[in-house]
Chains A and B, each alone.
Chain A
Amino acid sequence: MAREVEIVEHIPHLRRYALALLRDRDAADDLVQDCLERALSRWRLFRGGGSPRAWLFTIMHNLHVNAVKRRAVGAAAVDGTANGVNVAPTQDQRLEVLSVARALERLPPEQREIVLMIGLEQLSYAEAAAAVGVPIGTVMSRLHRGRERLRSLIADGSEPRLTRVK
């Protein structure tokens, strides 16, 4: 009962996260819907305890990873740098100052996920590590690389430079 309460409370958070992750309202709500259905059907597996929020994000992560894999299968060439989203900035984009939301699209999915779980959803580092199934050290390095890349994309639309000149 108490956990059902908490699932309902999390729906707006799940929607916000999914929207930021996918940047497509329908796809985001599809993901949330799948997540809720899976959470309800696996209710009994969750009886052990833990935070429902972290559990829901674990489900969300797994569904998302599977969807990314499905899309990647059959794709002629998988661009390893940014989830198939066109990465190479055009001349114009290079000069453009990107919003954080647009810049997010240029992050590799595993960095985007961590930047959002922590920066937007305020999961603890340990919760994010559990949700994604990696050690905390990996979370920290993805967070660092993701944020550094965002910083430079926002600053001038280019990829991170090795040295920063002020």
Chain B
Amino acid sequence: MNDERIISSDDLHAYADDQLPPERRAKVEAHLAAHPDDAERVAEYRRINEELHSQFDPVMRESVPARLRARRRRGAPVAAIAAGLAALLIGAGAGWLLRGELVGDQVGTRSNLAGRAMAAHTMYTAEVRHPVEVWAAEYEHLVRWLSNRLGGEVTAPDLEAAGFTLIGGRLLPGDGGPAAQFMYENEAGERLTLYLKRGDPTDRVTAFRYQAGENGDVIWWIDGPMGYALAGPGPRGRLQSLAHLVQQSVNP
């Protein structure tokens, strides 16, 4: 393809595939005009491409089958892959990403929310057999128990739309009082934890704060009486979208 004068078979393929630079293209065209055999070859390569399209393009117009979007595991509700991603998009389109601005890497806030959440995330997401104290199958019991101990209503946000299924939760010691952790998992086996801790009853609402860590990233914020910290794998944009889902769920 490099020799300026000789037209190689690579040139013919690249011409048929529209992958030739314009200056080379003119040379190949001149060659084809003088060599009908090669012109016929190029025409056949193109016919092959066209026939591939006419044969297989129809599948692209079908709706994506449910099994690619959703799979059941252990009788849990459907965890959607594509639907989860789509939900993030719809959310972004609806503009609710603007609801909490992301404030970059600020470490050392007054509440040690992020630090505590990250420590608990690291410790318990690594557990295979005992990741939670109470499994999601006993959801009513789980939230009643945690609500009683934290002294205010606690629910586990539904993150199914983003492909994360609730595994369960546990009670944890927090700064100056009990805290709770809910754990989620997606089809790819990625785990996400939401750490909740009641603070002073205020109307204070903070922006999202973000911190990257060795064992995952964390986004935390305070919404009235409750502090939230969502820890999980990056990238940051995805975790942020998940944090918005949490925020929407607790603040409908």
User: Which residue numbers of A lie inside 8 Å of B, CB to CB?
Assistant: 1-5, 7-8, 11-13, 15-16, 19-20, 29, 32-33, 36-38, 40-41, 43-44, 47, 99-101, 115-116, 118-120, 122, 124-125, 140, 143-144, 147, 150-151, 154
Q: How far, in whole Å, are A15 and B67 apart by their CA atoms in the complex?
A: 13
- CB of B45 within 8 A of CB of A120, answer no
CA gap between A29 and B51 in the complex, in Å: 22
Within 8 A of A (CB), among B138-192: 163, 186-190
Q: A40-B187, A151-B44 are in contact. Are A12 and B238 (CB under 8 A)?
A: no
Which residues in B have their C-beta under 8 angstroms from that of A40? 81, 163, 186-188, 190
- Give the segment of B86-94, B120-128, B197-205 that binds chain A: B86-94
Separation in Å of the A19 CB from the closest CB of chain B?
5
B interface residue numbers (CB < 8 A to A)? 9-10, 13-14, 17, 19, 41, 44-45, 48-49, 51-53, 55-57, 59-62, 64-65, 67-68, 71, 81-82, 85-86, 88-89, 92, 163, 186-190, 233-235, 237-238, 240-241
What does DSSP make chain B's interface, helix, strand, loop or mixed?
A: helix
**Residue contact B234 to A47, C-beta cutoff 8 Å:** yes
Contact present for A99 and B51 (CB under 8 Å): yes
- Known contacts A5-B89, A37-B187, A147-B48; is A19 also within 8 Å of B56 by CB? yes
Q: With contacts A1-B238, A16-B57 known, is A11 near B52, CB below 8 A?
A: no
Distance from B242 Cβ to chain A, minimum over Cβ atoms (Å):
11
Q: Please measure, in the bound complex, the distance between the C-alpha atom of A19 and the C-alpha atom of B64, giving whole angstroms.
A: 13
